[in-house]
Amino acid sequence: MSLPTPEQITERLRAVIDPELRRSIVELGMVRSIDVKDSGRVEVVVSLTTAGCPIRSHFEGAVAQQISDLDGVTEVAVGFDVLSDEEKGDLQQTLGRGKLPQGALAQVKNVICVASGKGGVGKSTMTANLAAALSAEGHPAGALDCDVYGYSIPRMLGVNSKPEVNAERKILPLEAAGGVKVMSIGFFVEENSAVVWRGPMLHKAIQQFLEDVAWGELEYLLLDLPPGTGDVSMTLAQLLPQAKFAIVTTPQPAAQTVAKRAADMAAKFDLELLGTIENMSGFTTPGGERFTIFGEGGGQQLADELDIPLLGKVPLSEALREHADAGTPLVTAEPDSPASQAIRQAARGIVAATPQELPVLQAVPEAAEPPPVSGTPLPVVQ
């Protein structure tokens, strides 16, 4: 019986992704050793960033799942040790991080950055309503307000109080109507006060929101990015190398051109583009007459240029603005309105474009033996 080589096993382990660092455990140097016994038993030692790593069981199941079906493997044993301080320092330097995460994003399946490149296109409104739409359709979602200077997610989701801290010293996100988990710098400053910070403070705040907030089990964490392609966008690209981008634009060429810059920034960091959302695509009067106030076709043109899908065209809607100001997302307050239907379509597009399983594969129990066939045999017609 032929046995797999350590090289073959290493190649299989490239499919095991650290759900926080969003990279393979092989790429991160977390595979300490691989030992293949003559009996077919494979022993793998994985190095963790901390002894009490909360995602240890994820790694154990994923490693076993990847190796167990290789020819010649009869048993898989997964052991663990902890990276030395020097190894942690090397990993931090490789990732460009001040510290390594402690498990806050371990149960978040998909991180979606909602970007626009410019302000005034309704990006925050889209983020709040997309999170509410995903949650309403059975996909637990959260919204992180990364627009530190122009935070508006708390108002749009109707939550505003100081978060509590749990026993593990993790910040507990607030919960909006419909179960959307929310975090924003707005929860920590006086109401409507200006945040006057330089780049390093922005970086630290965003990193803390990602690593020190107890997000729990979420299918989607939507990040409302600030306009432009500056400090916050680069911080997120550095901290979340497997995040995906949804680009919001209005139909007019001026917005479309600037939105493409946000897409170009994502491409420079090898981040996946999910699609575009065209907001304010047209206004229909109560009499049925339609006006293209901000032009026509910019979202589709941008999608074609980037070779990504157009997730939805959201009409200009007074009700959408009113409910955003009132903290009651339109998709839940008036689910049958044209704007709500368009946003729900965009949310379904996001679901269709993202994996519905954690990147870390789980062991699948063997199927039970089928019951024996019983009953009276039928005669065979000759």
Q: What is the 3-state secondary structure (H, E, C) of 254-281?
A: HHHHHHHHHHHHHHHCCCEEEEEEEECC
* Of 214, 218, 224, 213, residue with least CA distance to 139: 218
The yes-or-no verdict on residue 2 having pLDDT over 50 is: yes
Angstrom CA distances, 240 to 151, 246, 306, stand at: 21, 15, 22
**Run of H or E residues at 223:** strand 218-224
Give tens-digit pLDDT for 16-56: 888 767 788 888 888 899 999 989 899 999 888 766 565 67
Q: Are 349 and 312 in contact (CB under 8 A)?
A: yes
Contact 157, 126 (CB under 8 A): no
259 pLDDT band, cuts 50/70/90, is confident
* More confident: 205 or 346: 346
Q: Give the separation between CA 134 and CA 123, rounded to whole angstroms.
A: 16
Mean pLDDT value of segment 318-326: 94
Q: Is residue 119 predicted with pLDDT exceeding 70?
A: yes
pLDDT at res. 358: 41
> Token match 């939507």: residue?
222
Question: Is 324's pLDDT higher than 90?
Answer: yes
Q: Which of 40-49, 103-112, 309-318 has the highest mean pLDDT?
A: 309-318
Q: What is the pTM of this model?
A: 0.68
b or e along 252-285 (b: 16 or more beta carbons within 10 Å of the residue's beta carbon)? beebbebbbbbbebbeeeebebbbbbbbbbbeee
> Percent of the chain scored above 90 by pLDDT?
31
For 7, 238, 313, 356, 372, the CA distances from 18, given in Å and listed in that order, are 20, 15, 35, 16, 43
What would the mean pLDDT of 76-87 be, rounded to a whole number?
A: 84
Mean pLDDT within 71-87: 85
Neighbouring residues of 65: CB distance < 8 A, sequence distance ≥ 6: 361, 362, 363, 364
Hey, which of 26-30, 167-171, 175-179, 287-291 has the most confident mean pLDDT? 175-179
Evaluate if residue 359 carries a pLDDT over 50.
Answer: no
- Paired strand residues for 220: 110, 141
Enumerate the H helices of 137-229 as residue ranges.
153-157, 199-211
